[in-house]
């Protein structure tokens, strides 16, 4: 397939943006530690790639995000499934769940770091917490939306509990679930960075802070660009999952 005109338009827009940035730097005469030029950032990127620091810190953050997502999504879908199936469990837990949502995770991040240390565990937990709620809510909504008639159909065929879950509830709620994952994936990047900004010895958040302390503003830019790349990559993976598993929703007519 030929890349379409709109693809080129996007690329063109990026190139234009970089030029505008360069132009602003030249015209304003701002010092480098306030606004580095695109070339400065590029050189800094190459340098940090060459000494291995960028990949190292990126891999730490990526590890935190991956583990955080895995833990958050696992607990959220399990609990979400149970809540969807049991109105009484929902009644018991919903005050806590609603209250927990009123607490911004960002605000308790320092607490979590105090309790769990400044290693990666505290970041994984922050990540998991921030991912938890949207995935939980979407799981409940998704499972509740399974058409009752399809339950009747499965039960008339004497389907086991496991079969009802694997062949009906999971595929039926997958669109909503992946929607939750899409939100969760983006949030998880924020979670990891918040944790690292509070206190860390490694990771992109750490790199951000170091750049900030040392007036190495180019480094800050590099770290931010890396974070955007991570977020986009996660978003892309969810999109791929949707393409793969939700084919039936997007059939060309």
Footprint of other proteins (CB under 8 A): 147, 149-150, 152-159, 163, 167-168, 171-172, 174, 246, 248-249, 251, 253
At its nearest, how many Å lie between other proteins and the CB of residue 234?
24
In three state form, how does the secondary structure of 158-215 look? CCCHHHHHHHHHHHHHHHHHHHHHHHHHHHHHHHHHHHHHHCCCCCHHHHHHHHHHCC
Nearer to other proteins, 18 or 241 (CB): 241
Q: Please report how close the Cβ of residue 167 comes to other proteins at its closest, in angstroms.
A: 7
For the CB of residue 135, give the shortest distance to other proteins in the complex, in Å.
20
Instruction: Judge contact between 122 and 112, C-beta under 8 A.
Output: yes
Q: Which residue from 84, 219, 66 is spatially nearest to 143, judged by alpha carbons? A: 84
Sign of torsion over alpha carbons 15, 20, 21, 27: positive
Quote the least distance from Cβ 173 to other proteins, whole Å. Answer: 11
* Burial class for 64, CB neighbours closer than 10 Å (0-12, 13-18, 19+): buried
To other proteins, the closest distance from the beta carbon of 160 in angstroms equals: 8
Q: Measured from the CB of residue 172, what is the shortest distance to other proteins in angstroms? A: 7
- CA-to-CA separations, 247 to 30, 165, 172, 177, 225, in angstroms, rounded: 51, 20, 13, 15, 32
Closer residue to other proteins in complex, CB, 2/158: 158
18 to 26, 35, 36: CA distances (angstroms) = 12, 13, 12
Q: Which is nearer to other proteins, 2 or 244 (CB)?
A: 244
Under 8 Å between Cβ of 238 and 181: yes
For other proteins, the closer CB: 155 or 201: 155
End-to-end alpha carbon distance in the chain: 20
Which of 21, 151 has the CB closer to other proteins? Answer: 151
SS3 at position 2: coil
Choose between 130 and 146: whose C-beta lies nearer to other proteins: 146
Shortest separation between residue 149's beta carbon and other proteins, angstroms? 5
Nearer to other proteins, 9 or 157 (CB): 157
Helix (H, G, I), strand (E, B) or coil at 7: helix
Tell me how far apart the alpha carbons of residues 97 and 140 are, in angstroms, rounded to a whole number.
13
């Amino acid at each position: 397939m030929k890349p379409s005109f709109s693809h080129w338009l996007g690329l063109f827009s990026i190139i234009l943006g970089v030029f505008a940035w360069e132009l602003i730097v030249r015209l304003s005469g701002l010092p480098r530690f306030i606004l580095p030029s695109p070339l400065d950032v590029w050189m800094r990127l190459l340098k940090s790639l060459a000494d291995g620091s960028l990949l190292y810190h990126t891999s730490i953050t990526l590890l935190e995000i991956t583990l955080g997502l895995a833990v958050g999504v696992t607990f959220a879908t399990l609990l979400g499934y149970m809540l969807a199936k049991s109105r009484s469990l929902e009644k018991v837990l919903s005050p806590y769940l609603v209250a927990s949502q009123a607490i911004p995770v960002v605000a308790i991040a320092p607490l979590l770091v105090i309790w769990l240390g400044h290693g990666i565990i505290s970041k994984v937990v922050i990540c998991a917490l921030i991912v938890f709620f949207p995935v939980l809510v979407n799981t409940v909504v998704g499972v509740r939306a399974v058409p009752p008639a399809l339950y009747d159909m499965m039960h008339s065929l004497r389907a086991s509990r496991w079969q009802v879950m694997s062949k009906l509830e999971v595929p039926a709620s997958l669109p909503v679930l992946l929607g939750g994952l899409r939100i969760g994936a983006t949030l998880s990047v924020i979670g990891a960075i918040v944790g690292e900004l509070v206190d860390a010895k490694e990771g992109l958040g750490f790199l951000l802070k170091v750049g900030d302390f040392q007036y190495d503003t180019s480094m800050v830019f590099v770290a931010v660009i890396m974070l955007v790349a991570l977020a986009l990559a996660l978003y892309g993976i969810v999109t791929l999952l949707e393409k793969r598993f939700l084919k039936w929703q997007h059939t060309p007519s």
